[in-house]
């Protein structure tokens, strides 16, 4: 095209340097920096003020908003966490998570089939272990036929095309609700890592496609990778809960897996301080170096800055967990008529995409998938 035919932008206010400069930093994302300040002047028109740059133009209609939409939420972005209980043909509601239930394995298989029909790529299973089978070491995690492993077998048999993600943290199995072995009031690191690595192999043998350790022990990713490889599970991936914060937003989950009354103290000696962001990056870097295939940030919405930093710095598959408390807040406010629950759900999930997530673990998954498929 002839350059002369391009209409130049109206000159900014006479005699003044007003404008925006675009710089393209190493990560390729264009940034707009205000380099000069407009001088106050009376009686300028909006076009004089904006230099004719009117950002509302593209927002004027649905079709133009769709054309300029930068981020999209798709069914392919969803991972659905589901809760398991022992027994048959039973479903229990989780009071603090309206719309969420615990399922016996036979019913969990039905939910897995539903997930596959909706096009959800993967589910993540969390067991509510009978209290009689919990002990100080969380030994039942080393039972090849425990609830989580039986569920993986049943689900992979019925719906082989659905990804199954399992957590190897000890908290559903310990009598004290901590993610590791407790000795003299201390969650001991190395012994816990050894046990977690063994449990990961059992979970892989039961059919788990992705092992997702949520315990934040040091060295767990490398130990799990070694153990999986030694057992021949080279194709089983690791999604690291790399940056898991000591958060108040896990409350309803603890009710769901029955650890709410058990936990003594808090998890501050192993989860990250919510005040820290550089430390989260070091955790992510360490887990990648040890062999993590995918990284997760948890909780989700309050930690989107961490998602963005991780995605920008490492450019690896990055996920966030919209945790139980985040889900409960939206549901509770909607139930009171204080917000539009459906819109808040969709907006919160789109925010994860905008922050850089490749996918989101969310209890809303089936509801959202249903909506996205119309
Ligand atoms: C612990 C674990 C937690 C969640 C999943 N696994 C946190 C905790 O109980 O401390 C939270 C998930 C949620 O809140 O939805 N290994």
Atom of ligand 1 nearest to the CA of 361: 15
- The answer to whether the CB of 162 falls within 8 A of the CB of 155 is yes
What DSSP string runs through 343-361? Answer: HHHHHHHHHHHHHT-SEEE
Q: Name 60's Cβ contacts closer than 8 Å, sequence gap at least 6.
A: none
**DSSP-derived 3-state class of residue 19:** coil
Other beta carbons within 10 Å of 194: 16
**Ligand 1 neighbour 353 (Cβ under 6 A):** no
222 has a pLDDT exceeding 60:
yes
Q: Whole-angstrom Cα distance, residue 80 to residue 364? A: 8
What is the CB-side half-sphere exposure of residue 163 using CA atoms within 13 A? 23
Atom of ligand 1 nearest to the CA of 249: 14
Shortest CA distance to 297 belongs to which of 285, 289, 288, 306?
A: 306
pLDDT number for residue 40: 72
CA of 323 to the centre of ligand 1 (A): 8
DSSP-derived letter for residue 118 is H
Please give the distance of CA 71 from its chain centroid, rounded to a whole number. Answer: 17
Shortest CA distance to 294 belongs to which of 253, 236, 249, 246?
A: 236
Q: 145-157 pLDDT, tens per residue?
A: 999 999 999 999 9
Residue 213, both tokens: 């350790």
Residue 355, both tokens: 């922050």
Please give the distance of CA 300 from its chain centroid, rounded to a whole number. Answer: 6
pTM: predicted TM-score of the whole model, two decimal places: 0.90
**Ligand 1 neighbour 360 (Cβ under 6 A):** no
**DSSP-derived 3-state class of residue 15:** coil
CA of 192 to the centre of ligand 1 (A): 17
Q: 286-299 pLDDT, tens per residue?
A: 999 999 999 999 99
CA of 65 to the centre of ligand 1 (A): 37
Q: 7-53 pLDDT, tens per residue?
A: 555 454 444 444 454 545 555 555 566 666 666 778 999 999 999 99
**Ligand 1 neighbour 169 (Cβ under 6 A):** yes
Other beta carbons within 10 Å of 322: 26
Residue whose CA is at the smallest distance from ligand 1 atom 8: 250
Q: 306-360 pLDDT, tens per residue?
A: 999 999 999 999 999 999 999 999 999 999 999 999 999 999 999 999 999 999 9
Q: 87-130 pLDDT, tens per residue?
A: 999 999 999 999 999 999 999 999 999 999 999 999 999 999 99
């Amino acid at each position: 095209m002839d350059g002369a035919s391009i209409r130049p932008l109206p000159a900014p206010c006479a005699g003044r340097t007003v404008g925006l400069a675009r710089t393209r930093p190493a990560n390729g994302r264009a940034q707009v920096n205000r380099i000069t300040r407009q001088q106050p002047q009376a009686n300028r028109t909006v076009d004089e003020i904006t230099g004719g740059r009117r950002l509302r133009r593209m927002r004027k209609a649905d079709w133009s908003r769709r054309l300029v939409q930068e981020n999209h939420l798709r069914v392919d972005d969803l991972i659905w966490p589901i809760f398991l209980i022992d027994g048959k043909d039973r479903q229990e509601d989780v009071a603090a998570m309206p719309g969420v239930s615990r399922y016996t394995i036979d019913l969990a298989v039905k939910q897995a089939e539903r997930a596959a029909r909706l096009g959800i790529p993967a589910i993540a299973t969390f067991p509510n272990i009978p209290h009689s089978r919990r002990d100080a070491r969380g030994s039942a995690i080393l039972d090849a036929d425990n609830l989580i492993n039986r569920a993986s077998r049943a689900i992979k048999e019925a719906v082989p095309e659905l990804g199954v993600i399992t957590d190897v943290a000890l908290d559903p199995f310990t009598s004290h609700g901590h993610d590791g072995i407790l000795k003299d009031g201390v969650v001991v690191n190395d012994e816990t890592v050894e046990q977690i690595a063994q449990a990961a192999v059992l979970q892989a043998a039961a059919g788990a496609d992705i092992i997702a350790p949520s315990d934040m022990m040091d060295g767990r990713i490398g130990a799990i990778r070694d153990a999986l490889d030694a057992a021949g599970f080279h194709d089983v991936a690791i999604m690291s809960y790399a940056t898991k914060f000591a958060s108040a937003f896990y409350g309803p989950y603890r009710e769901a897996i029955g650890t709410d009354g058990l936990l003594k103290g808090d998890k501050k000696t192993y989860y990250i301080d919510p005040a820290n962001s550089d430390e989260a990056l070091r955790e992510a870097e360490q887990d990648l170096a040890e062999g993590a295939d995918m990284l997760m940030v948890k909780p989700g919405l309050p930690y989107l800055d961490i998602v963005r930093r991780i995605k920008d710095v490492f450019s690896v598959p990055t996920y966030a967990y919209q945790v139980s408390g985040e889900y409960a807040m939206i549901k509770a406010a909607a139930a009171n008529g204080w917000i539009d629950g459906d819109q808040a759900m969709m907006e919160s999930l789109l925010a994860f995409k905008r922050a850089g997530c490749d996918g989101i673990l969310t209890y809303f998954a089936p509801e959202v998938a249903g909506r996205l498929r119309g």
